Amino acid sequence: MGQTTIHSAIDYDRDGKQVGYLYLPQSPHEDAWGSIPIPIAVIKHGSGPTVLITGGNHGDEYEGPITIARMIRELDPGAVQGRLILLPSLNQPAARAGRRLSPIDGKNFNRCFPGNPEGTATEQIVFYLDHVLFPLADAFMDLHSGGSSLQILPSAIIEPAPDPAHAGRIVTAARAFDAPTTVVLNNLGDPRTSTAAAVRAGLTVVGTELTGGGGVTREGVRVCERGVGNVLRHLDVLDAGEAPAFPDKPLYEIPGAKGYVYAPADGVFEAWHDLGDAVEEGQPAGAIHFLDDPGRPPEIARFACSGRLYSRRSPGHTVRGHCVSVVITEHSG
């Protein structure tokens, strides 16, 4: 495949802190020889691993980007052993619009790997991540939240890896994040996500889901800042002080398709459980109300497995097939 179209004055080999942009050339009506500027910082000092940390893969998920931007402002290069490559607004057009998808091409960044240097704007940024940044990195944290449509328990995410030693590195790093909940999650096996691509590149990968609903929660920011610091201390990029503890909390997983509850009709979804609640197979997840037909009884959406409520739809307005609830079960190992 061809070469990246992105150019930048950032020098990945230079010591110290650099803050700048990756420029993706674009030629729209209002800007014939223009660019999309994607913010980036590189902080390099001493010797140690390269850790790539990204937010804004989806443009309506904010706790990760807030955490990364604070690191860019506040982190002293002298505190780093190795190299941090920090991108808080990875899909910049989507982040600028506060939308999950890019308004330029309608693409979901996290369904575009491995990207295409001759494709749409989103596909070109994905290609740069996959073909330029992944080969520089030893570890990768992609910081997601639930976005506009979902609320999700604050959690560290484990992307499964086929090689047991590689999988072990990933599980240890995700446990070191020490989120309130840690979940094995593979998007029903989709290979087009950032974390699936990073696993193929051999990286130690940690994902997150940090609340959501299109807003910013203090709890999500707190979990994210603490977790990112924990992983960087675990990787010895930041000084651990005393050895970090790896709490032996249970691991959870989304048990495939039966973990998802989809709306059985168009209407308004009323959730009947709170995040973290224990739920049972066959139990109602909530009701779909028909507010333009008040004589019609609500339809009930039911859980297809027992476990804990991990996620639920945030907006009331719902269309048949929308995901209204997600259940996690204890990881089977």
- Per CB under 5 A, residues contacting Ca ion are 58, 144
> Which CB, 65 or 82, lies closer to Ca ion?
65
Q: Return all residues near 267 (Cβ < 8 A) that are at least 6 apart.
A: 288, 289, 290, 291, 298, 299, 318
Backbone angles phi, psi at 188, to 5 degrees: 55, 30
CA neighbor of 159 nearest in space, from 113, 196, 202: 196
Q: Residue 137 has which token pair?
A: 């990195």
Shortest reach from residue 298's CB to Ca ion, in Å:
29
**Least distance between Ca ion and beta carbon 58 (Å):** 4
Which of residues 43 and 184 has its CB atom nearest to Ca ion in the complex? 184
Minimum distance, C-beta of residue 14 to Ca ion, in the bound complex (Å) = 32
Nearer Cβ to Ca ion, position 57 or 325? 57
- Torsions phi, psi of 144, nearest 5? -105, 160
CA–CA dist 159, 195 (Å, integer): 6
Nearer to Ca ion, 58 or 289 (CB): 58
Q: Within a 10 A sphere around the Cβ of 306, how many other Cβ atoms? A: 14
Nearer to Ca ion (CB atom), residue 157 or residue 251: 157
CB of 90 to Ca ion, least distance (A): 11
CB of 4 to Ca ion, least distance (A): 24
Instruction: Answer yes or no: are the C-beta atoms of 148 and 214 closer than 8 Å.
Output: yes
Taking the least distance from each CB to Ca ion, the nearer of 45 and 144 is 144
273 CB-near residues (< 8 Å, 6+ apart):
279, 285, 286, 309, 312, 325
End-to-end CA distance of the chain: 37
**Which residue has the CB atom at the shortest distance from Ca ion?**
144
Q: State in angstroms the smallest separation of the CB of 196 from Ca ion.
A: 14
Count of CB atoms situated within 10 Å of the CB of 23: 16
